Structure 1
Amino acid sequence: MSTEPGFVVAGGGLAAAKIAEALRDNDFAGPITIVGAEELLPYERPPLSKGHLLGKEGLTDFTPLSGDWYREHDVTLRLGTVVERIDRAAKSVALSDGSTVSYAKLALATGARPRTLPIPGAYAERVHTLRTLADSDTLREIFGVVERLVIVGAGWIGLEVAAAARIAGVGVTMLETQPVPLESILGFRMGEVFADLHRDHGVVLRCGTSVAEIVTADDLATGVQLSDGEVIAADAVLVAVGAAPNVELAADAGLAVGNGVLVDASLATDDPDIVAVGDIAAAEHPLLGARIRVEHWANALNQPAVAAQTMLGRPAVYDRLPYFFTDQYDLGMEYTGYVAPGADATVVVRGDVGAREFVAFWLDPQRRVRAGMNVNVWDVTDRIKELITTGEPVDPERLENTNLPL
């Protein structure tokens, strides 16, 4: 094996696998090393709160590249290991096993971690978060033995786990500080769609509430105490209050960070030999005219192709629109585009909200489409993208008229 400095990827998720694949597809013949904290091959995370949690998908179904692929393409996997320090002057990384690896180019794909609650009982037994395969497996196991699950947070992870738990027959109480789920992302009207969906399936949804303490007995969680003193009994608690990007490695190396690792449209950091992708990348988006960081599977899937070109010294720009999806009960949804939380936007609906078959559009004050969400309506994503990328004003009345094609 060559001893020359090669390309190193810090992080062992989907983005790491796709960077290695893109580099080999672009005829890079030098050494590639992936350093990942888990002992598993890089895998995709959406099934952890969807198909895998429901028992419909196994690990091999969402592992994009097999062990044979890494061996056949001479990609070194340093699993169960993390990059602890970057020495930019020496162009090397120090690993948790005490070794050092030199690099010609470095890709940061360190992902995010679940946020925790700064309250008593937050680290007791039976208090869970969801980020890894092991976390998902644990939740599947407790679905078979508990009767009462309390979920703190009604974001995407909380909602998807609630759906899986109800399908498994577990009683669910969900606590949310906002007036409706997802209000900061979708606004009140669309947030109500998800509130009604879960209430229709038996979830006790308590909005406008805050949690003061995880109640414990012998260091086992037995309930959740609200700020008004009310205690909700629980056999298990899931904390789903968002994720924090793992930017510490980049910050300690002196790279520019803010809400993530700051990168340009080519995904390069302020060090020309280092790129960043996935959950940590706060990237300048040429179509949206803003720097954005989104924790979407699509970024981990698609950004690596651009990052690989940048690592190879070739011009490349990441200009895909943000995209994500969710499946809850009989509701399937795709969201395309980006609207910043709190932005001045008008929601125009095309279809039947009550029947949960519609497309919602977010229009800015100039009546330009900035995002679209299709709920149980399919094959419209390309049309939504066109409406966003043209940047032309639209007539809201025509947009909501289902007799007119998009």
Structure 2
Amino acid sequence: MDKAQLGAGSTVAIIGGGQAGGEAATLLRQNRFEGRIVLIGEEDCLPYMRPPLSKAFLAREIAKDALIYKAATAYENARVEMRLNARVDDIDRRDKRLILNDGATFGYDKLVIATGGRARPLPVPGADARNILYLRTIADVELLQPLMQAGKRLVIVGGGYVGLEVAAVAVKRGLAVTVLESAPRVLARVTAPAMSDFYERIHREAGVDVRTGVTVSGFASENGCVANVLCAGWESFAADFVLIGIGLVPNTELAERAGLDVDDGIVVDAASRSSDPDIYAIGDCAMHAQHGFLQRKIRIESVPNALEQARTVAASITGRPIPEALAPWFWSDQYDLKLQMVGLSDGYEELVIRGKPETPSFIAFYLKDGVIIAADSVNRFGDFMAAKRLVGERIKVAPSRLTDDSVPLKSLLVAAAA
């Protein structure tokens, strides 16, 4: 269905009240869609930013209002109907209707699924104890905040972004923090050993007890609360409370019940369209059948990807050209360090570091066949902007030029274009 066919009497429904859903709703109107736009969110607040949850919001450095992605007036001006604190139970694809948890139904012409994901549970004995917590929503953080008291013993299961970000906040507040990671190193899925070593050192110097190669086998509880975290090999760690941060499960159940193609995410094409041409999926719940930049099947968990897909959907529904897919990028704030990452480093052949990790201000480049496929930057904001272009344009650069701090990275872009 193109722009001419989707007229003022049409309805676009969006399921999911995160940044992806909020962005898609307002962009539809910016792209001059004149029909009805309805956004349905399970939480009782406007779409909000999740990255600060494990950082500034957990640390009480910002209030809840600061998390809101766009003010209510943005949706009012865009004539977006906000149905918050509501859940879609089923999608009737034949009649193109949504069935809500309160029994209400309404029709759609185009549907955007932006249901995101939920924290992955740890399937071991005792994991249902009251003081075992997860971090994905505002409500999750509000349960954590009262427990973040100096002297309390926090055990974090998982040495990924969320686990390390919470560790940084907690140790600064005087908690005794232990991080248990089953892999041989932290951040093992996303970065090189040299970067993992750097972050392990930073956390240990701050007072975090980082344990790698440790598998949690269960929890020993007293009066319904965890007292000890049990690990394979009979080692255990005393805990006043536990945070589990071992990844995300995409919320695809609604799509599965509707009969859409699902494979660790709702499978979508370059236009973010699912196996039903009138249904789209964006954000953490969407699996790119072939990512336009990476040229492979992949599900990307990042805000920039979610917003990029929102732009794609708004363009597709309104009959506009699909934006070019970009190199994925991510970030993480820990202590006074900003880690910014672009591209995916898996399969790299050579690691080149510019700057000195002990400073700490450096950037690591991942090369394959001489081409820069990814970069990890620590406190190098200008260099990261250049790195995004180096990765995005698939620039081939001699390692000696990358390591030479006297050669501005921008000049490598100019040289490549010459």
Q: TM-score range by the shorter chain?
A: over 0.9
Match of 1:367 among 359, 366, 370: 370
Residue 158 of structure 1 pairs with residue 163 of structure 2 = yes
CA distance in 2, matches of 1:131, 1:57: 17
SS of residue paired to 2:156:
strand
SS of residue paired to 1:39:
coil
CA distance in 2, matches of 1:401, 1:335: 20
Q: What's the CA shift for 1:57? A: 1.4
The equivalent of 1:326 in structure 2 is 332
CA distance in 2, matches of 1:389, 1:15: 22
Match of 1:388 among 374, 391, 394: 391
Distance 1:369 1:251, change over 3 A: same
> Segments of 4+ in structure 1 off by > 6 A?
none
Q: What's the CA shift for 1:141? A: 1.3
Match of 1:227 among 218, 228, 232: 232
SS of residue paired to 1:15:
helix
Unaligned segments of structure 1, at least 5 residues: none
Q: What's the CA shift for 1:159? A: 0.2
Q: What's the CA shift for 1:181? A: 0.2
- The 5 A counterparts of 1:230-379 are 230-283=235-288, 284-340=290-346, 343-364=347-368, 366-379=369-382
Equivalent pair of 1:150/1:236 in contact (CA under 8 Å): yes
CA distance in 2, matches of 1:177, 1:346: 26
- The 5 A counterparts of 1:131-150 are 131-144=136-149, 147-150=152-155
CA distance in 2, matches of 1:327, 1:85: 38
- Paired AA for residue 353 in structure 2: V
- The 5 A counterparts of 1:16-165 are 16-144=21-149, 147-165=152-170
Q: What's the CA shift for 1:146? A: 5.8
- Paired AA for residue 19 in structure 1: A
SS of residue paired to 2:171:
helix
Unaligned segments of structure 2, at least 5 residues: 1-6, 410-418
Identity %: 38
- Paired AA for residue 315 in structure 1: P
SS of residue paired to 1:21:
helix
CA distance in 1, matches of 2:385, 2:76: 37
CA distance in 1, matches of 2:31, 2:386: 31
- Paired AA for residue 87 in structure 1: D
Aligned residues: 402
Q: What's the CA shift for 1:102? A: 0.7
The equivalent of 1:404 in structure 2 is 407
Equivalent pair of 1:5/1:102 in contact (CA under 8 Å): no
Q: What's the CA shift for 1:254? A: 1.7
Equivalent pair of 1:146/1:235 in contact (CA under 8 Å): no
- Paired AA for residue 205 in structure 1: V
Equivalent pair of 1:267/1:275 in contact (CA under 8 Å): yes
Equivalent pair of 2:8/2:34 in contact (CA under 8 Å): no
Q: What's the CA shift for 1:385? A: 2.1
Equivalent pair of 1:281/1:293 in contact (CA under 8 Å): yes
The equivalent of 2:414 in structure 1 is none
Q: What's the CA shift for 1:354? A: 2.0
- Paired AA for residue 349 in structure 1: I
Distance 1:120 1:146, change over 3 A: farther
CA distance in 2, matches of 1:335, 1:95: 39
Equivalent pair of 1:268/1:274 in contact (CA under 8 Å): yes
Q: CA RMSD in A?
A: 1.7
SS of residue paired to 2:201:
helix
CA distance in 1, matches of 2:145, 2:217: 27
Deviation digits for residues 73-110 of structure 1 (CA, Å, limit 9, x no counterpart): 33222211221211111111111111112111000100
Deviation digits for residues 246-279 of structure 1 (CA, Å, limit 9, x no counterpart): 1121122221221311111221112211111111
Distance 1:371 1:344, change over 3 A: closer
